[in-house]
Amino acid sequence: MPAVRIQGLTRTYQADGEPVHALAGVDADFPRGTFTAIMGPSGSGKSTLLQTAAGLDRPTAGHVWIGDTELSRLSETKLTELRRGRIGFVFQAFNLIGALTVEDNIRLPLRLAGTRPDPAWLAQVIERVGLTNRLRHRPSALSGGQQQRVAIARALASRPEVIFCDEPTGALDTTTAAEVLALLRAVVDEQGQTVVMVTHDPVAASYADRVIVLADGRIVHDMPQPGAARIAEHLAALGHRRVATEGATR
């Protein structure tokens, strides 16, 4: 069973009385222990795919499974429980709570879910992200890369079945971004996690095992990660104007 399965995923918005087909029937499986990058031009449906797959938004039609649980059958309460316990999120803007220490930020999803932390797992996560000496600090005392590592530790705290990342390196410089991507790669390789990451950056996508490219709400490429240079070519062929080619040699 894949960690995530989406079938016929469709999301239509109304804008000025006109339908906008953000997702026009997308099928994909995300096997456990894999790292997938979702790419595509601006407006192609990447964020909508992530939001609907993660149960943050309801599709207009189609289905999402997290493990064996089909989301459309869940009440809002059950969906919230599932998001807290079985899904991790990492966003471009980190979304840490400034008034809480690093440690309390990491533990927050567990507190919200009312689950008892597994101390051995938490210690392992904190060590893996290199934050052992920072636990008493506030997020504002940390660099951007460190803050994103806190967000990754927070996403891992509940030992989720999948981690959804929306532009996790969008706010970071190249070196810090590389550290964060290496960390995501490591949690897949060492802990068997499943990561689904939206990114505009072919270099970021080159850390994934697989690249899915969307255009107009449909999958137009689904390929084993071919390297940043080839990814950039695929995007350029779609008329993508914001391709980061700098350093695209990986």
The residues of the shown chain that bind ligand ATP, judged by CB under 6 A, are 13, 15, 20, 22, 40, 42-48
Residue nearer to ligand ATP on the CB measure, 43 or 85: 43
Q: Which amino acid is at 133?
A: N
- Minimum CB separation of residue 178 from ligand ATP in Å reads 22
- Token pair listed for 170: 């969008």
CA distances from 73 to 10, 29, 127, 230 (A): 16, 19, 38, 40
Rounded distance, CA 166 to CA 47, Å? 7
Residues 6+ apart with CB under 8 A from 25: 8, 9, 10, 61, 62, 217, 218
Rounded distance, CA 140 to CA 144, Å? 9
Residue nearer to ligand ATP on the CB measure, 48 or 206: 48
Residue nearer to ligand ATP on the CB measure, 73 or 242: 242
- Minimum CB separation of residue 46 from ligand ATP in Å reads 4
- Minimum CB separation of residue 117 from ligand ATP in Å reads 33
Please say whether the dihedral angle defined by the alpha carbons of residues 131, 136, 142 and 144, taken in this order, is positive or negative: positive
- Minimum CB separation of residue 84 from ligand ATP in Å reads 24
Residue nearer to ligand ATP on the CB measure, 24 or 135: 24
- Minimum CB separation of residue 39 from ligand ATP in Å reads 9
Residue nearer to ligand ATP on the CB measure, 12 or 101: 12
4-15 β-sheet, strand order? 18-30, 4-15, 61-66, 69-70
- Minimum CB separation of residue 200 from ligand ATP in Å reads 6
- Minimum CB separation of residue 240 from ligand ATP in Å reads 10
Residue nearer to ligand ATP on the CB measure, 42 or 75: 42
Residue nearer to ligand ATP on the CB measure, 50 or 125: 50
Rounded distance, CA 34 to CA 163, Å? 11
